Amino acid sequence: MKFILTGITILATVAIFALAGVGFDTMKKSQQEFLRLHVRANSNSQADQAAKQLIRQSVVNELTPILYDVKDKQEAMYRLRDNLGRIQTVADSVLQKSGFTYTAHVGIKSEFFPTRSYTTADANLTLPEGLYDALILELGEGAGDNWWCVVYPPLCFLENNIGGKDGIHYRSKILEWLK
């Protein structure tokens, strides 16, 4: 009986770690391992803020399959650089269809971010203020309120349905190690 209880305890522990693999990976990452997305609205007018939200969702939808199975930040940055024109086209298309005369400016650079907390089903994550590499989308003058998230690891994509329940691709370091 003691042997069976020990076995069940071990299996339960492995299952917990397997299901929580995303959370543990995310919490261990250093500031330099995150890649962020920053969308700056043209202004704080209702129309410009609405455009920011449309572009945010369109760009996240576009990025989801591009970044779906990336293994690390360097691969994510490579894929973003390879698709900057595509991202620019998506943003400009949304602006044009919405009747705006300004365009988007898209690039990857290091920029200062304030402290920001993210909550997922598996982890609570707070990124401290500091310099982060980021995909920047500046709409028109870029003088309005902004929106940001994390593209690697993929905290922006929780609402998209690619890679698993709620868009999350689950993986377990313990199961990978056992293979």
Q: Is the per-residue pLDDT at 92 higher than 90?
A: yes
Look at residue 97 and tell me if it is in a domain.
yes
* pLDDT above 90: percentage of residues in the chain: 53
3-state secondary structure of 150: strand
Look at residue 177 and tell me if it is in a domain.
no
Q: Is the per-residue pLDDT at 11 higher than 50?
A: no
Look at residue 24 and tell me if it is in a domain.
no
- Give residue 149's pLDDT: 87
Confidence of residue 158 (pLDDT cuts 50, 70, 90): low
Calculate mean pLDDT across residues 93-120: 91
Look at residue 156 and tell me if it is in a domain.
yes
Look at residue 93 and tell me if it is in a domain.
yes
Look at residue 25 and tell me if it is in a domain.
no
- Residue 164: its H or E element: none
Q: Is the per-residue pLDDT at 85 higher than 90?
A: yes
- Give residue 123's pLDDT: 66
Q: Is the per-residue pLDDT at 3 higher than 90?
A: no
Instruction: Give the pairing type, strands 35-40 and 130-139.
Output: parallel
- Give residue 103's pLDDT: 97
Q: Which residues contact 141 (CB under 8 A, 6 or more apart)?
A: 42, 43, 102
Q: Phi/psi at 164 (nearest 5 deg)?
A: 140, 180
Name residue 125's beta-bridge partners: 118
Is 0.75 topped by the overall pTM? Answer: no
Q: Indicate the DSSP class of residue 169.
A: -
The domain total for the chain is 1
What is the residue range of 56's domain?
30-169
Look at residue 7 and tell me if it is in a domain.
no
